[in-house]
Amino acid sequence: MKQTINEYDFRRAFEQLRPNNFSYQGLGALFDYFEELEDSIGEEIELDVIGICCEYSEYDNPSEFQEDYGEKYKTIKDIEDHTTVITIDDDSFIIQQF
């Protein structure tokens, strides 16, 4: 059994299970990313809040990312060469952890 959700439902699921994992803007970017991914692969994606929180991380800037992954990643392009990057704004982004 599947249920179609909108962005409000998506945000609410995170607020209930993992309220501090992503920013408000980050959740919007993630929702858009998963909707586009569903369209491109032609399959529905199951909402698994815990799985998403384990697989994706939000960063406020590249320096914060470097603290976790090292200084060899100087730019967003360097990061994109290794994983999926979901842009939130000019500085903030979400990555699929690697």
Instruction: Quote the CA–CA distance of 54 and 38 in Å, as a whole number.
Output: 20
Q: How confident is the model at residue 92 (pLDDT cuts 50, 70, 90)?
A: very high
Tens digit of each residue's pLDDT (9 = 90 or more) over 59-79 = 999 999 999 999 999 888 999
Tell me, yes or no, if the pTM score tops 0.85.
Answer: yes
Which tokens is 82 given?
Answer: 């290794």
Q: Quickly list H helices, the chain.
A: 7-17, 24-41, 49-55, 62-69, 76-80
What is each CA distance from 80 to 5, 11, 67, 71, in whole angstroms? 29, 26, 17, 15
CB within 8 Å of 46: residues ≥ 6 apart = 2
Domain extents in the chain: 7-96
